[in-house]
Structure 1
């Protein structure tokens, strides 16, 4: 299997992971899955030199990280 086909499958996997994340009712699960999908899209975008795809998804990674940190800090301070 050549490199281009592997990266194509990474793109498909990223799409599926993001789609599944958007079906989560638990916000923590949504953020974690979305983070993973966005990270896959960053790798995919860089690999195929689609820099706008990588940039937007890197921004999404930062957003997911921000909210995950916020969620975990709020849950630990209320305990």
Structure 2
């Protein structure tokens, strides 16, 4: 019978969120959904001891947060 390790579902969810984020036309939605996908990849990477996956996705989350901060700051100037 087909069985999937529960932690793999976290990886699948992360992959799906990343793909969905790349289809967004709004940069804000893209950054938020991408951050969620990256967060799931951090959790997945830590669980399966794939530290390069966890570290790179943690850095991407920080980049997304920085970008969202700058977008909000620019929006307040207008």
Q: Distance in 2 between matches of 1:48 and 1:5?
A: 11
Runs of 4+ in 1 over 6 A off after TM superposition: none
**Residue of structure 1 equivalent to 2:39:** 39
Q: State the superposition RMSD in angstroms.
A: 1.1
Q: Distance in 2 between matches of 1:76 and 1:36?
A: 25
TM-score normalised by structure 2 residue count: 0.91
**Matching of residue 17 in structure 1 with residue 17 in structure 2:** yes
TM-score normalised by structure 1 residue count: 0.90
**Residue of structure 2 equivalent to 1:29:** 29
When the two structures are aligned, how many residues end up with a matched partner?
75
Q: Distance in 2 between matches of 1:36 and 1:59?
A: 13
Unaligned 5+ segments in structure 1 are none
Deviation at 1:7, TM superposition (A): 1.1
Instruction: Give matches, 1:1-79, under 5 Å.
Output: 5-78=5-78
